[in-house]
Chain A
Amino acid sequence: MALTITCPICGKRNGYEFRYGGEDKGPRPDESGLTPQRWCDYVHLNDCTAGVQKEWWFHRDGCGAWFTIHRDTTTNLEVQSAEEN
């Protein structure tokens, strides 16, 4: 389904200009004392939320910015925050 995404620099644009960058999983884990489990968690594991999730996007065919938005995965609509449901 069609998607529009609001880039913090360019504003609301067609979703096909962007590349999806994965669920927001917080900061990259510290490398000292990093276990394979913790790394696997960060790299591979997802919540797969059917609803609003916070996620990364990259404005590939635009300004090149990386940013996060909230989007409802069941409707493909961008929402203001996780609470707006």
Chain B
Amino acid sequence: MFGKYKPLWGRKPRLKSAYDAVIIGGGLHGLATAYFLAKNHGIKDVAVLEKRHIGFGGAGRNTAIVRANQRTQENIPLYREALELWPVLTRELDYNLMFNNCGNLNLVHSEAAMHAARMNIASAQFLGVESHLIDAHQAKEMMPALNISENITYPVHGAMYHPPGGIVRHDAVVWGLAKGAAKLGVHIHQHTEATAIDTANGKITAVDTTAGRISTPRVLVSAGGYSAAIIHKMLGIRLPISVLTIQAMVTQPLKPILDHVISSGAYHVYANQTLKGEVATGAHMDPWPNYTTQNTAHYVKHQAEALSELLPCLRAVKFMRTWAGLADMTPDMAPIMDGNDPLEGFFMDCGWGYFGFKSCSAVGKYMAAYMATGRCPEILRPFTLRRYEQHRLMGETAALVSYSPDN
């Protein structure tokens, strides 16, 4: 029985000496781009290089929350489309991504924050994303476990309710996209590390890997938290990115108590109940850049304190597992998606911070179009790297709880 096991994405392919496109990073963005290159553009001669196994990085470490209530008009449409793609991909890939459309409640803890939430909601509604402002009592009706008493550190004033959001099983997305891409002919090379990117006359010519050299006219770096280090080391291009460890954990499984994703900027916490019953929760980033992906006692304690104030019924519930991943943060909290600049055939998709999961489906579609045609799709234009030297930073910081790249 075990001897017959074959992964959904087929057996290990042989590394060829040339591919039409090489993607560094077998996470969600890389796999989604490979899938859409093959499906929408007929570019099936694609190699996805993954240093460990697919979904080892951020793809399997995020807390699975999806939503589209970003802050700026450049960002909202991208996340809206990503949200709309979950049911479509579930059908297309013939793989259950377990999209649980439970909606998100972003708690608001002051009158100033209520004003900010109104702005946020107005932007969302203007761009066709459903989002409402509700008061503390309405929030309590929606989530009876919520503590709306005045006697907590940050009493709840209201909430931003965003019904189209929810949670998606992140591993299923990795496996589904890998299955879909491999079926169309994409080669997924696990345990194969890119070691160098070769260029000649301002063009990409090849990628060196631990399994051999690949000639290719285009390469995409979509290696999540490692992208900035890879791009700097291999091409000498520095990026406006800081890489921080972000922590998460789950409690023991419980009967259903959270009908929605809940998050709070003031308490610096977000939580959702998985289909298995565990409360998955996280939010904290180390206040200094590092690649350790280790948890800290400092934060496990913070998390327990915050959760037991907001959701007192969770007091004495145990954390079963903790883990951490990497977030590559940019100064304006918006990603960098760019291509053919300064090298022809070089594409990058990085700087996602902790938004990489919720955006992967739409980004894969548009990065594939960019790589296939060489023309930047309209929706990706604002995300160029050049915006930093042009002082056109996006105002996405306002959509967030309370961090900046260097805290």
* Contact between chains at B289 and A15 (CB < 8 Å): no
Q: Mark B267-308, 1 if CB is under 8 A from A, else 0.
A: 000000000000000000011111110111110000000000
Asked, given contacts A1-B290, A20-B406, whether A36 binds B391 with beta carbons under 8 Å apart, the answer is: yes
B390: interface (CB < 8 Å) = yes
Q: Is the interface of B mostly helix, strand, loop or mixed?
A: loop
A37: interface (CB < 8 Å) = yes
A39 CA to B391 CA, complexed, in Å: 10
* Contact between chains at B238 and A46 (CB < 8 Å): yes
Residues of the B chain whose Cβ atoms lie less than 8 Å from the Cβ of A15: 288
Residues of the B chain whose Cβ atoms lie less than 8 Å from the Cβ of A37: 389
Residues of the B chain whose Cβ atoms lie less than 8 Å from the Cβ of A76: 290, 292, 294
Total interface residues on B, CB under 8 Å, equals: 31
Residue of A nearest to B232 (CB): A47
From A1, A46, A47, A73, B294 is in contact (CB under 8 Å) with: A1
Residue of A nearest to B231 (CB): A48
Residue of B nearest to A21 (CB): B406
Asked, given contacts A2-B296, A41-B238, whether A48 binds B289 with beta carbons under 8 Å apart, the answer is: yes
In the complex, number of A-B residue pairs with CB atoms less than 8 Å apart: 74
A16: interface (CB < 8 Å) = yes
Q: Determine, out of B71-79, B88-96, B240-248, B368-376, the stretch whose residues face the partner at the interface.
A: B240-248
Asked, given contacts A16-B298, A20-B407, A22-B406, whether A44 binds B331 with beta carbons under 8 Å apart, the answer is: yes
Residues of the B chain whose Cβ atoms lie less than 8 Å from the Cβ of A36: 389-391
B239: interface (CB < 8 Å) = yes
* Contact between chains at A74 and B388 (CB < 8 Å): no
Asked, given contacts A22-B406, A41-B238, A50-B226, whether A73 binds B291 with beta carbons under 8 Å apart, the answer is: yes
Asked, given contacts A16-B298, A20-B407, whether A44 binds B229 with beta carbons under 8 Å apart, the answer is: no
A45 CA to B226 CA, complexed, in Å: 15
Which of A39, A46, A47 has the most chain B CB within a 10 Å cutoff? Answer: A46
For residue A57, give the distance in angstroms from its CB to the closest CB of chain B: 8
For residue A70, give the distance in angstroms from its CB to the closest CB of chain B: 13
For residue A60, give the distance in angstroms from its CB to the closest CB of chain B: 10
B207: interface (CB < 8 Å) = no
Residues of the A chain whose Cβ atoms lie less than 8 Å from the Cβ of B292: 1, 73-76
For residue B242, give the distance in angstroms from its CB to the closest CB of chain A: 6
From B229, B238, B295, B389, A50 is in contact (CB under 8 Å) with: B229
From A20, A22, A40, A49, B389 is in contact (CB under 8 Å) with: A40
Residues of the A chain whose Cβ atoms lie less than 8 Å from the Cβ of B291: 50, 73-74
Q: Mark A1-32, 1 if CB is under 8 A from B, else 0.
A: 11100000000000110011110000000000
Residues of the A chain whose Cβ atoms lie less than 8 Å from the Cβ of B242: 46, 48
From A16, A20, A45, B239 is in contact (CB under 8 Å) with: A45
Q: Mark A39-71, 1 if CB is under 8 A from B, else 0.
A: 111001111111000000000000000000000
B121: interface (CB < 8 Å) = no
For residue A56, give the distance in angstroms from its CB to the closest CB of chain B: 10
A46 CA to B296 CA, complexed, in Å: 25
* Contact between chains at B228 and A46 (CB < 8 Å): yes
A76 CA to B243 CA, complexed, in Å: 13
* Contact between chains at B229 and A1 (CB < 8 Å): no
Residue of A nearest to B324 (CB): A1
A73 CA to B286 CA, complexed, in Å: 12
A16 CA to B298 CA, complexed, in Å: 9
Residues of the B chain whose Cβ atoms lie less than 8 Å from the Cβ of A46: 228, 238-242
A37 CA to B238 CA, complexed, in Å: 12
For residue B191, give the distance in angstroms from its CB to the closest CB of chain A: 19
Residues of the B chain whose Cβ atoms lie less than 8 Å from the Cβ of A21: 406
A45 CA to B386 CA, complexed, in Å: 12
Residues of the B chain whose Cβ atoms lie less than 8 Å from the Cβ of A3: 288
A29 CA to B228 CA, complexed, in Å: 23
From A39, A40, A48, A73, B232 is in contact (CB under 8 Å) with: A48
* Contact between chains at A40 and B388 (CB < 8 Å): yes
Which of B242, B245, B291, B406 has the most chain A CB within a 10 Å cutoff? Answer: B291
Which are the 7 A-B pairs with shortest beta-carbon distances?
A44-B240, A48-B228, A40-B389, A1-B294, A20-B288, A45-B238, A1-B292
> Interface of B with A (CB < 8 Å)?
226, 228-229, 232, 238-243, 245, 286-292, 294-298, 328, 331, 388-391, 406-407
19 A-B residue pairs with Cβ-Cβ distance under 8 Å, sorted by A, are A1-B294, A3-B288, A15-B288, A16-B287, A20-B406, A20-B407, A37-B389, A44-B331, A44-B388, A45-B239, A45-B240, A46-B228, A46-B240, A46-B241, A47-B232, A48-B289, A50-B229, A50-B291, A73-B290
